[in-house]
Homo-oligomer: A and B are copies of this chain.
């Protein structure tokens, strides 16, 4: 953007389930403005115009990519379209915000990252959770060393329904856990292991258990499911000094930090006993994560800063999901994070 005083003019491509949230948040963000929306469905565009009367709507996104007054493009389209649309947008000189996951294959993700680099434009992936104040609060604890060396992370991310028919629960819910864990641990996994079940649609896993092993020795495990009686969003971080629980379903006490100590060592009993200690729940701001994320994108475009969830971060998530898929297909065998072809 030439002039920092002017609002960033954003076009949103894709007005389905998630698109309106992006339109609303970019519209409300200081320094941002949604000027146009593209969608193949004229019906959806009618609904968008009713809710956002000032927005221009088109069925052909190329009209927007060709518009020199548009600074940035926000892609909320099916995963398989991310690469062609992003490459097109970068070729037109736009900054690009892509919904998560960045792509459905490692090759596509790499191509998008390359395109951004070539164009010298900002690429950001919509890993909203790494902007969630509770996730950020846990990261701050980790950076400060308050939990000690991280031993393992266990996640429960399950709920009833919203079964996707074009991709499985690993690619639907998994990007959240992978992006959060990589953000927290600040390292890439060495190996990935995944087991799952297809109970509703043949060939589409609706339940998956994903495990990742890290160079530091840490293990991260996630239970992902579309078949669960209650919505659970709980991540437990076990450190050598303290433990933390991040429970996104709670209205208050989203983060709890648990002290503990060794109570006694009784060698004859062949056991070591821990005792619980104080529990502390730091106040976490209630700001909507999507709003924080959108402002971060605007800020990165303006200043040229590298987004927290840049192309590389998005690529790492796709690599882990790809490895999980390879493990699933191989019957749950542990596979290398970097596929042989890539290494």
CB distance from A59 to the nearest CB of B (A): 16
- Of B53, B262, B270, the residue contacting A165 (CB under 8 A) is B270
Interfacial chain B residues near A164, Cβ < 8 Å:
270-271
- Of B217, B230, B251, B258, the residue contacting A229 (CB under 8 A) is B258
Interfacial chain B residues near A31, Cβ < 8 Å:
none
DSSP majority for the A interface? strand
What are 9 sample pairs from A and B whose C-beta atoms fall under 8 A apart? A151-B227, A161-B272, A163-B274, A166-B270, A229-B243, A229-B256, A277-B283, A278-B282, A332-B332
Instruction: Give Cα distance in the complex from A230 to B211, angstroms.
Output: 21
CB distance from A235 to the nearest CB of B (A): 12
From residue 132 to 179 of chain A, which have CB atoms closer than 8 A to chain B? 151-152, 154, 156, 158, 160-166
Tell me if A283 and B272 are in contact (CB < 8 A): no
Instruction: Give Cα distance in the complex from A23 to B277, angstroms.
Output: 32
Tell me if A280 and B281 are in contact (CB < 8 A): yes
Instruction: Give Cα distance in the complex from A160 to B252, angstroms.
Output: 13
Instruction: Give Cα distance in the complex from A279 to B282, angstroms.
Output: 6
Closest-by-CB residue of B relative to A267 is B165
The answer, yes or no, to whether A308 is at the interface (CB within 8 Å) is: no
Most B CB within 10 A of own CB, among A152, A158, A223, A249: A152
